[in-house]
Structure 1
C-alpha cells in the first residue's frame, strides 16, 4: 500500500510537471526504456578505485521515461532523519544537510542513441541547481529489464563516477 501511495504521488507530480509543456519534436527511439523504473542501487567509484553507496544499501527511487521524450528521476536515501520541529523551514543545519545529501531529483527531456548505447538527459529542473539547463550523457546497458548507466559528472563533483541500476516496473 505504501508503494502504491508513493507511486501515485510521484506520477501526480510528473503529470503536473509535464502538463502544458511543449513536447519534444523528435520522439526518441525509446521503446525498451519507456515506462516506470524502480531504483536498485547507486554506487560511487572514487578516483582511487574505492566505492561508496551515497544513498545507502537500499535507496528508494523512481525513473519515468514517457513516449514523448520526457523523463523524471527521484532518488532518496532510504534512511533520512525526520525534522524534529515537524516543519522543514525550522530544520536544524544538520537536518538540512542530511536532507540535501539524501536527495537527488531532476526532470526534463531525453533522447536515446541505441547504436552508441547512450541516454542524453536535457535537464530542465533539478534539486541540484548546478545541473539545470545542462545536457548530460549516460552510457547504458539493458538486460533482463535492468537498466544500468554511468554518471561521469555526479553531484559530488570531482572525478567521482556513479553506476546507477534501475529495474523496470511497467
Structure 2
C-alpha cells in the first residue's frame, strides 16, 4: 500500500504556534537558555510561495527579570534574541527526501542575522510540526534544539 502522507513541502504549509522549546546537551540533559526563557511564545508561518516568518517572545517579557543581557551567539544555524524577543522572515526551500528546510533570512530583528542561511530538520505528524537543529548557546555550549509546534491555520 503506498504511503498516503503528503510530502513535507506540502504538510508544513500553514501557521504554527510554539508548544515546547528544549535545548538538549550531548548527554540528553535539558539546558535552560535564559534569553527566551523556558516557555516562550512563538509563531511560525510557511506559505506556498516559499516565504516564511518566525517570531519568538519570552513569556514574562514585561517584568524586569525578563531583560536578559544581549549576547552574541557563537555558533552557526542560530539567531539572536534582543530583550526577550526574536523575529525574522525570508524565503525557504525544502528537501523532502532529507526532511530539511533551508531558510534565507531576508530581514531580522538582529541586523547580524540578515542574509543568514539556516537549515533545520522538520517532521510533520498530523497537526504537530517538529523542528530540530544543532546550535550553540551564547556561552558556546553545543545543544540540539527541539521545537514543537501546533497547527493553528
Q: TM-score range by the shorter chain?
A: 0.7 to 0.9
Q: Structure 1 residues 166 and 53, CA, compared in 2 at 3 Å: closer, same or farther? A: farther
Larger of the two Rg values belongs to structure: 1
Partners of 1:67 and 1:96 lie apart in 2 by 36
Q: TM-score, normalised by structure 1?
A: 0.66
> C-alpha distance in 1, partners of 2:52/2:24?
25
Q: What is the alpha-carbon distance in structure 1 between the residues aligned to residue 114 and residue 25 of structure 2?
A: 24
Q: How far apart in 1 are the matches of 2:29 and 2:110?
A: 24
Gaps of 5+ in 2: 1-7, 71-80
Identify, as 1 or 2, the structure richer in strand. 2
Tell me what 1:10 maps to.
none
What is the alpha-carbon distance in structure 2 between the residues aligned to residue 105 and residue 56 of structure 1?
Answer: 16
Partner of 1:162: 145
CA contact 2:21–2:39 (8 Å) conserved in 1? no
Displacement of 1:153 in angstroms is 2.9
Contact residue 124 and residue 132 of structure 1 kept, 8 A: yes
- Counterpart-to-counterpart distance in 2, 1:77 and 1:60: 6
Partner of 1:14: none
Q: TM-score, normalised by structure 2?
A: 0.73
Q: Of Structure 1 and Structure 2, which has the larger fraction of its residues in helix?
A: 1
Q: Greater relative contact order: 1 or 2 (C-alpha under 8 angstroms, separation 6 or more)?
A: 2
Structure 1 residues 95 and 59 mapped into 2: Cα distance closer, same or farther (>3 Å)?
Answer: closer
Q: Which runs of 5+ in 1 are unaligned?
A: 1-28, 84-93
| Aligned residue pair count | 132
